Amino acid sequence: MKTFNTIKVDDLDIFYREMGDTSKPTMLLLHGFPSASHMFRDLMPALADRYHLIAPDFPGFGQSSAPSRDEFGYTFDHLTEVITDFLTALHLDRFYMYVFDYGAPIGFRIAMQHPDWIAGIISQNGNVYQEGLGEKWATRQDFWDHPTPEKRDTYRTAFEPKTIIGQYTFGTEPHKVSPDGYMLDIAYTQTPGYADRQLDLIFDYQNNIKMYPQFQAYLRAQQPKLLAVWGKNDPSFIYPGAEAFKRDDPNTRVELVDSGHFALETHATIIAAMIKDYFD
């Protein structure tokens, strides 16, 4: 049975989904933008026979607290601190880690800081290589190098319904993506202060890219068992980013599926089978 829980962490209410027998190996599921833990709604039941699953919503996302940007610094370092404290509060110190999109720089920060916590990694369109950056990142680099209020405002289009629907459906077969996920994400964009806190994270994303060499050094040093499964039609994080893991971690298996950025929307059952096969 899946449960829906909230725990107080750093004076924030952190919402999380939990499923599976606590005596089985734990898997931490870290979501991406503009989503929350509901993106794992199909994957969790498919893995619950093998794993104890924990999927939190980051601060500012989903059902977790979303303080104003005046009260909370929306940076990836800060989100990592909260999720690390969340793990400590739940007494989780050994787990497999599934990272996607924003979840990757958060998860890899945790792995760098606590390598003994990591039993294995699944990176699903969770990029840590320059080779994995699609064309859109060139314009973001200009924003990062020469920020102006006007450039910042242009990124408000990232929260428009058509943009979010496109993130879910681009690169997928017609009529294969349920509207449930993207309609919930669109609803969250209407909450107070959403755009401003997300724009802060878009600006801070540059620091994730600057940390890529550190993430790669972690992989070379620790060589965790890693499954890089990628929606190969993703225009944001392109599939050479999956192949690049093999350069630093010989314990990497790469699987490309015929989907886009949100590959779980179309391939959750297939990805679950890949995870069970590789980490058996």
Q: How many residues does the chain have?
A: 280
How many other CB atoms are found less than 10 A from the CB of residue 83?
22
DSSP category for residue 33? T
Which residues make beta-bridge pairs with 29?
A: 98
Q: Verify whether residue 261 is a known catalytic residue.
A: yes
C-beta of residue 86 within 8 angstroms of C-beta of residue 56 = yes
Which entry of 31, 52, 78, 261 is annotated as an active-site residue? 261
| Bond before 34 cis per omega within 30 degrees | yes
Q: Output the CA torsion sign for 267, 58, 30, 232.
A: positive
Helix or strand holding residue 216 (H, E): helix 212-222
C-beta of residue 11 within 8 angstroms of C-beta of residue 71 = no
Contacts 24+ apart (CB under 8 A), 131-135: 131/238, 131/240, 131/241, 131/243, 131/244, 132/237, 132/238, 132/239, 132/240, 132/241, 132/242, 132/244, 133/209, 133/237, 133/238, 133/241, 134/234, 134/235, 134/236, 134/237, 134/238, 135/235
Give helix 212-222 / helix 194-210 axis angle, nearest 10°.
60
d(CA 201, CA 140): 12
d(CA 51, CA 42): 14
Which positions are catalytic?
A: 261
